[in-house]
Copies of this chain bind each other. A is one copy, B any other.
Amino acid sequence: MFELHPNLASGTRLLAQWELCQLRALPDPQLPWLVLVPQREGVLELFDLSPADQGRLIKEVNLAAQAIVQAFGPDKINLGALGNLTPQFHFHVIGRYKTDRGWPGPIWGVAATEDPAKADQILDQLTRHFLG
């Protein structure tokens, strides 16, 4: 049975249940940051998903990326699945800006100055977008 890793449960917020993935948002004061978690047990790497589920994953990653572009118009989309700290397979879809704190490097591991009001504003915008 699929069970969400505690790091993802505590660090991200559920936006939608898609066919394969839970679509979740990671609160960030600068960036729209989505995390897709395939609702399958014991998946650590891409190849632990069936070929059909891999097809579903890329479709859902694509939807998430298009949504970020429509809602936020960032300078670039960054995609990634690392899992070095949280082993349950999860796929990041992040809108990046040339003015953000990590540009042009990766954003993973680059701490933000806390600003809960800004983070809430981005989360609300994401929530509205996916609730339609």
| Residues of A bordering B, CB below 8 Å | 45-47, 51, 54-55, 57-59, 61-62, 65-66, 69, 76-85, 87, 91, 96, 103-106, 108-109
Question: Which chain B residues border A62 with CB–CB below 8 Å?
Answer: 46-47, 51, 54
Question: Which chain B residues border A103 with CB–CB below 8 Å?
Answer: 84
Main secondary structure on chain A at its contact with chain B? mixed
Judge whether A79 and B76 touch: CB under 8 Å: no
Q: Please tell me how many copies of the chain the complex holds.
A: 2
Judge whether A81 and B80 touch: CB under 8 Å: yes
Judge whether A46 and B105 touch: CB under 8 Å: no
Q: In the bound complex, how far is the Cα of B61 from the Cα of A51, in angstroms?
A: 12
Q: In the bound complex, how far is the Cα of B8 from the Cα of A132, in angstroms?
A: 39
